[in-house]
Amino acid sequence: MIGFVILLRDITAQKEVEAEKERNKRLIAMGEMMASIVHELRNPLCSIELYASMLYKEIEDTPQASLAMGVSTGVRNLNNSLSNMLYFARPRNPKTTPCDIRTLTDDALSLLKPVIESRGIVVEKQISRTSINGDSGLVKQVILNILLNAVQAMGTGGILTIHSETDSKGFHLNISDTGSGITSEDIERIFDPFFTTRDEGTGLGLSISLKIMQAHGGTIRAKSLPGSGSVFILYFPHKHLLPDISGDRQTALSVLSPEHFLQKDSCGKGTGEPDGKNSITCLKIFNHQKPRNY
């Protein structure tokens, strides 16, 4: 009797590591080039802003004052863009202090509150009280970038879902949207600098966010299903987590995992199980929690 032995091995994690190494090689080369370009541009910009400010003071009470202020404002905006490029090229070391992820997320949501309300987007949120050793300003910038991308992806209406979980790998903050999703071709490039599908985008938001997360020992993963939405997962390793003194941290939340969020049953609804059971209409992840509007 002749038999066969078939061995199957999941190499998803290995492929992700290889892709991240290849991406880092490209980022290093582009970062070195960008640093030299930014240095050459910032010197004349400082002079232009100085002279524009001096001119504004001279003609402050004249109709032309707004023109001088416009030059100064434009230069500052350009300088901010160059500062983002410089951070990408030479990221600063995080100033680590205890910071609460839930508080930082609430702060980021409050900044986006006007646009969220104007677009009629529903926010569903369940985040455990978890503190990390990190730079609160930089971590909030990452959360804000991901939330802003999610809001822009949905346009008018939609559900923005934020939930957290802790497992053997560390703390995960999952940010999900019900937007148009990302194609398989684009999702391989979304963390590359200057890659963007929006005409008004710079293509640096996700690149800088990834750099910040790596500086905190973590990373960002993205999963998407075109036509249904996307999930961005922020990973914070255990070594950066502070001891939980409130007893509020949850290790097994009764919510959908990022993978299950993108599962669909025959009716096109989000499912809580891979086989299509326990469907949740409109990809609502927290069926036990009332939506919170912001």
pLDDT for res 270: 37
pLDDT for res 160: 95
> Of 44, 71, 89, which closes a domain?
89
pLDDT for res 146: 94
Specify whether 71 is located in the same domain as 111: no
Q: Which residues of 226-248 are buried (b: 16+ CB within 10 A; e: fewer)?
A: eebbbbbbbbbeeebbeeeeeee
pLDDT in tens, 32-67: 776 777 777 877 888 888 888 888 888 888 888 888
Distance CA 2, CA 112 (A): 65
Specify whether 144 is located in the same domain as 66: no
Distance CA 251, CA 245 (A): 15
**Strands annotated E in the chain:** 97-100, 122-126, 131-134, 159-167, 170-177, 219-225, 229-237, 270-271, 279-280
Distance CA 130, CA 209 (A): 20
User: Does pLDDT of 186 surpass 70?
Assistant: yes
Number of domains, the chain: 2
Q: Is residue 152 part of a domain?
A: yes
Q: What is the mean pLDDT of residues 69-73?
A: 84
CATH of the domain at 129: 3.30.565.10
pLDDT for res 159: 93
Specify whether 201 is located in the same domain as 78: no
Higher model confidence: residue 255 or residue 24?
24
> Of 30, 58, 89, which closes a domain?
89
pLDDT in tens, 231-269: 999 999 988 888 764 445 444 333 344 444 454 433 333
Name the CA dihedral angle for 119, 103, 231, 111, rounded to a multiple of 10 degrees.
30
Specify whether 137 is located in the same domain as 225: yes
Specify whether 81 is located in the same domain as 224: no
Structural domain range at position 123: 97-283
Distance CA 187, CA 225 (A): 10
Higher model confidence: residue 178 or residue 251?
178
Contact 42, 208 (CB under 8 A): no
Higher model confidence: residue 26 or residue 115?
115
Q: Output the average pLDDT for the chain.
A: 76
Specify whether 144 is located in the same domain as 246: yes
pLDDT in tens, 81-127: 677 667 666 666 778 889 999 999 999 999 888 899 999 999 999 99
Specify whether 189 is located in the same domain as 277: yes
> Of 89, 105, 130, which closes a domain?
89
Specify whether 85 is located in the same domain as 179: no
User: Does pLDDT of 290 surpass 60?
Assistant: no
Specify whether 117 is located in the same domain as 85: no
Contact 125, 163 (CB under 8 A): yes
The string of DSSP codes covering 194-210 is T--SSTT--S-HHHHHH
Specify whether 157 is located in the same domain as 270: yes
Q: Is residue 4 part of a domain?
A: no
